[in-house]
Amino acid sequence: MVLEETLIIRGPIDVPEVTRAFREAGMPARITQTVALEGLVSAKGTIRDLKALLKEEVSRIEEGEDTGPGGVHDPFLDVVERIAEVLAEFMERYQPGDVIPMADIKEWMAPSAGAAPEEEPAEAVLPDVESSMLYRFMAITALDENGLIETGAEGAVVQGHMEPEDVVLTLPGGVVEDIEPEVLKEHGILTEMTVTAVPEYRLEFGPEAVLGADLDKVDELADDLEIDEDEYISFREGVSLKQVVTARTIEVLEERGTLAPAEVAEALGSSAVGGTEDGWEIVLDLTPEFVKGLLTDLRKIGLVRKKGAGFRSI
């Protein structure tokens, strides 16, 4: 059926809740579960090697481009340097053998934004606070991965210290995606892909659900269920366009009577949805094969009737 639409949700979900939510939004769905493989690329190296690599990349870009007086700014280099600072702060504050309660770890990872200056609104300091929390989270992760702390449900025990520059960091692969493999190897940076099996749920909507969807309500539903934005945008566009094409197809049949699929396709292509008074228009360039499938779906749900080789509106 050409009027069917599928929405893919990856990751664990509460199937009954999702089914109920879409049904209440006027879009009953059939849900099937499969498993998808996802590859997550990361870059690993000591802080010293990562800093050397990123500084070399900055120099290489500056040599090849007119960067102006400000030079090249590498945000990833900033991240690595900030994490090194946080690691040094942690190891100065806590000594080997110290037992750190979970409450203290949470307090250390989420420093207060403090009072904002009178001339600066409180919202202005939030990005800095969020960045600081991210650096501290990445630092705690690095401490754990390097065996410098042992974490448990009630807190952590400091196992040892090492020079922050020698700590191995695991960073998103995007940090090094534009750098040649040979250069990464020279700096001792390892790129690694972790392949994981992720549950994938396919929500299949029939023609009646697609054509009857209230997209404003479905938008709210997508936000509530935290559906992946890219997947939802593609799904929403498909539903919206099928609603537009169906509405115009029925208008053509009401205006011209019984038509064969090829004649409907020609009629759709000779006019547009919208116009100059609206400031926009949609041109429908559809094949007779697609239109035939569309008309067949509309007949099955009772919106058009077949008459000989043609179709007409109800």
Average pLDDT, rounded, for the chain: 88
Residue 143 has pLDDT above 60, yes or no: yes
pLDDT at 124 over 60: no
pLDDT at 126 over 90: no
Number of other residues whose CB lies within 10 A of the CB of residue 137: 14
d(CA 295, CA 298): 5
* Pairing between β-strand 168-172 and β-strand 30-46 as defined by DSSP bridges: antiparallel
The yes-or-no verdict on residue 6 having pLDDT over 50 is: yes
Instruction: Name the pLDDT band for 115 (thresholds 50, 70, 90).
Output: very low
The pLDDT, as a whole number, for residue 277 is 66
What is the pLDDT at residue 116?
A: 46
User: Mean of the pLDDT values across residues 32-47?
Assistant: 94
**Predicted pLDDT at 280:** 78
pTM of the entire structure?
Answer: 0.68
What pLDDT, on the 0 to 100 scale, is given for residue 62? 80
Instruction: Note the pLDDT tens digit of each residue in 235-270.
Output: 999 999 999 999 999 999 999 999 999 999 999 998
Condensed to tens digits (0 to 9), the pLDDT of residues 186-231 reads 999 999 999 999 999 999 999 999 999 999 999 999 888 888 999 9
Please determine, for residue 84, whether its predicted confidence score (pLDDT) is greater than 70: yes
* Residue in 143, 148, 165, 184 with CA at minimum distance from that of residue 53: 184
Give the per-residue SS3 of the chain.
CCCCEEEEEECCCCHHHHHHHHHHCCCCCEEEEEEEEEEEEEEEEEHHHHHHHHHHHHHHHHHHCCCCCCCCCCHHHHHHHHHHHHHHHHHHHCCCCCEEEHHHHHHHHCCCCCCCCCCCCHHHHHHHHHHHHHHHHHHHHHHHHCCCEEEECCEEEECCCCCHHHCEEEEEHHHCCCCCHHHHHHCCCEEEEEEEEEEEEEEEECHHHHHCCCHHHHHHHHHHHCCCHHHHHHHHHHHHHHHHHHHHHHHHHHHHCCECHHHHHHHHHCCEEEECCCCEEEECCCCHHHHHHHHHHHHHCCCEEEECCEEEEC
Average pLDDT for 6-22: 91
Average the pLDDT over 272-286 and give the result: 78
**Range in 150-154, 196-200, 235-239, 288-292 the model is least confident about:** 150-154
Q: What pLDDT score does 114 carry?
A: 45
Spell 220-246 as b/e; 16+ CB within 10 A means b: ebbeeeebeeeebeebbebbeebbebb
Inform me whether the pLDDT recorded for 309 exceeds 50.
Answer: yes
